[in-house]
Amino acid sequence: MRFVNLLFIVFVALGTSAQGDAPDVLLRVNLQGRGTAPTEAWQTAVTVLLTESCGGPLQYIYELNTDSTGRVVLKSLPAGIYDLRIRTRTSLINVRHNVLLGTQTRELHMGTLFEGDANHDGVIDGADFDVIKTHYGTKEDEAGYERQADLNDDGIVNVLDFSLLSANFGLAGPRETAGCPFMLARSGTRVGAVR
């Protein structure tokens, strides 16, 4: 027998923006190689891309920073159906298709961002290995340091960065996220299925 637990969490609604826009959207990601959240190491730059649904043209680009738990809020989004994409500086892109931005505030989990795409070609492979190898042992503010080689963004290119690359070697993006987004119920309680 399969049981599905319902998770009821009191959720304070994020404010809506200008009329005709969708309410704010809270995106959550899991980050690799940065310890357990919450921690300052989870505060990192992300790029969020909104395209028309089903592979349509790019509509909006947001350059934002996550908080110490991997959350970021998108504000003043126009209502519509979009594909949402998110990435860190060195991760593969994660995508969620056919997201309806309309009348309800939403929280969307965008999955784990797989680190290792140092050259931004959408594949974690030997070319990324070469980037890390070239800058191995360098520290931030030293000659030869390259931020793209520092996968966990800790200020040094070392074995931890090679470990992330090794764990994700061969993966390609964009990676589709699964699961149902949480939706705001009328009572102000967030309801979602947990498997």
Contact 125, 169 (CB under 8 A): yes
Domain architecture of the chain: domains with CATH: 16-183 (2.60.40.4130)
Read off the pTM: 0.78
Residue 192 in this model has a pLDDT that exceeds 60: no
Do the strands 71-74 and 80-88 form a parallel or antiparallel pair, or are they unpaired?
unpaired
**Percent of the chain's residues with pLDDT above 90:** 65
pLDDT given at position 120: 93
100-114 pLDDT, tens digit each: 887 665 788 999 999
Contact 62, 84 (CB under 8 A): no
Question: CA–CA separation, 74 vs 165, rounded Å?
Answer: 29
46-55, 86-95, 122-131: least confident range: 46-55
76-90, 129-143, 181-195: least confident range: 181-195
